Amino acid sequence: MSFGFGKDFRVTLFGESHGKVVGAVVEGCPAGLQLTEGDIQQELDKRRPGQVLTTGRRERDLVRLLSGTVNGRTDGGPITMLVDNEDVDSSWYEKHRYIPRPGHADYTAFIKYHGFNDYRGGGFFSGRLTAGIVMGGAIAKKILATRGIKILTHVVQIGNIKVGTQIKDEQVEEFAYSSPVRCADRKKSALMVAELDRLAAEHDSTGGVIECRVLNLPVGIGEPIFDSMESVISHGIFSIPAVKAIEFGSGFRLSGMRGSEANDEFYVKEGRILTKTNNSGGILGGLTNGMPLVFRVGIKPTSSIGKPQQSVDLRTMKERELRVEGRHDPCIAVRAVPVIESMTSICITDLMVRVQMIPRTVGD
C-alpha cells in the first residue's frame, strides 16, 4: 500500500525504471476542475531527463491522460496518467544483477524481495517513479491555484556553494526555472553550473539543499498530533529518493537559540494577525499560522558515479569492484526541485480537502 500517498487526495504511483511505463492514479480530485494533458505536460517537462547537466537517458515523457475527465474537466473519478519508457537499455543491469550499487536500494531490495524485485535501473525504487509524483502534483497545483496558493522552490546549495542571503519570493518565482541548476541567485547559479561541469568531468557527484516556500495559505491547515503539517510534509518529502534531511523555519538553528529569540511574537496588520519573525516556518502546533510555510531539504550526492567502488557479489559473497556506467546527473538536487514542489502540493491539497478548505467540486 506504500505506493499511494494521501488520505482524501491520494496519488498512487506505478511503473518501473525499465518497464513499460511510469504513471500515477489520482483519487479525490474535486470534480469540475479544468484539466488537460497540457497542464500535466508542462510540469513533467520541468523534471524531464536529457536536459543540460543531467542523465544521458533520453525520454520525451509525453503524458497520456487515460481516465478521470470528461469534456475537459475532472469528473470526480480516478485520474490515470502515464508516460512510456522509451529509451531503455537494461544490458548493464543484466550483467551486474548481483552486484549492488553503493548508495542504491539494490542490496536492501534484493534481501526484502528474495531476489524477485526488478533489478533493472532500480525497478520501482528508481527516481524515474517521481514522474508520477509530478503528474499528481500538476493536478494538486491547479487545485491550490484556485485558492491563490503558490509554491516557490529553488536550489540554495550545491556542494559547498551556498546561497548566503535570503532571496525574495518574486526572484525565486521568476528565476528558479530559468537557471539550469534551478537556483534563483544568478551569481551562485553560475558557480554551481561550473562546479557541476567539473564533477561531471571527474565522474563524481555532489549533493544539494532545496528551499521550498508556500505562500497564501489560510490559517489552520494540518491536523493535531499525527498529521501535523511537518509530519505530513516530511513524510511526503522523504519518499523522494536521495532526501536525507529536512528542517522547517529556522530548523536546526533553533536548537541553539533562546526561547525569547525563537518565539515569533504576534502583531496585527490590516486586521490580520501576523508574526514579526518566522522562525517557526509558518507552522504552530502543527497547523499553518498564515505566514509563509518554509522548509529546506537536504539531498545526498547522486549515488551513480563513474568512479570504481567496492561492492559484493550477492551470490558468492565475494567482494567486487563496481563502476556504474553511463552518464548520470552530477547533482540530482537539480531535478528534484519540481518533484519537491509537486510533493508539497500534494501534501497541502490532501490536508485542505480533508478539512473542507477545498470543496468536493470546484467547477465554475
Binders of a second copy among residues 262 to 291 (CB under 8 A) are 262-268, 271, 273, 275-276, 279-281, 284-289
Q: Which is nearer to a second copy, 31 or 191 (CB)?
A: 31
155: Cβ contacts below 8 Å, ≥ 6 apart:
163, 176, 179, 181, 182, 183, 192, 208, 209, 210, 211, 333, 334, 337
Q: Say if CB 40 and CB 63 are below 8 A apart.
A: yes
Residue with cell 548566503: 164
**Partners of 320 in the β-ladder:** 311
Position 198 contacts a second copy (CB under 8 A) = no
Q: Which is nearer to a second copy, 137 or 241 (CB)?
A: 241
Binding mask 141-160 for a second copy (x = CB under 8 A): ----------------x-xx
Burial class (CB in 10 A: 0-12, 13-18, 19+), 169: middle
Strands 309-312 and 319-322 come out as antiparallel
Q: Which is nearer to a second copy, 88 or 173 (CB)?
A: 88
Smallest separation, CB 318 to a second copy (Å): 7
DSSP run (H or E) holding 260: helix 259-262
Q: Which is nearer to a second copy, 49 or 132 (CB)?
A: 132
Of 137-145, 170-178, 180-188, 238-246: span binding a second copy (CB under 8 A):
238-246
Smallest separation, CB 214 to a second copy (Å): 15
Binding mask 26-65 for a second copy (x = CB under 8 A): -xx--xx---------------------------------
Q: Say if CB 137 and CB 342 are below 8 A apart.
A: yes
Smallest separation, CB 203 to a second copy (Å): 9
Residue with cell 567539473: 198
Smallest separation, CB 62 to a second copy (Å): 15
Of 42-50, 53-61, 167-175, 316-324: span binding a second copy (CB under 8 A):
316-324
Question: Distance between CA 79 and CA 65 in Å, rounded?
Answer: 7
Among 3, 6, 68, residue whose Cα is nearest residue 354: 6
Smallest separation, CB 280 to a second copy (Å): 7
Position 236 contacts a second copy (CB under 8 A) = yes
* Near a second copy in 330-359, by CB under 8 A: 333, 354-356, 359
Position 189 contacts a second copy (CB under 8 A) = no
119: Cβ contacts below 8 Å, ≥ 6 apart:
93, 97, 106, 109, 110
Smallest separation, CB 240 to a second copy (Å): 9
Q: What value, to the nearest 5°, has the Cα angle with vertex 298 and ends 296 and 301? A: 150
* Near a second copy in 289-308, by CB under 8 A: 289, 298-305, 307
Among 105, 121, 110, 126, residue whose Cα is nearest residue 315: 110
* Near a second copy in 102-131, by CB under 8 A: 102-109, 111-114, 116-120, 122-125, 129
Residues touching a second copy, count (CB under 8 A) = 149
Q: Which residue type is seen at 101?
A: R
Smallest separation, CB 172 to a second copy (Å): 19
As a residue count, the chain comes to 364
Binding mask 64-103 for a second copy (x = CB under 8 A): --xxx-x--xxxxxxxx-x-----------------x-xx
At 4 the three-state DSSP class reads strand
Mutual orientation of helices 130-145 and 333-354 as an angle, nearest 10°? 50
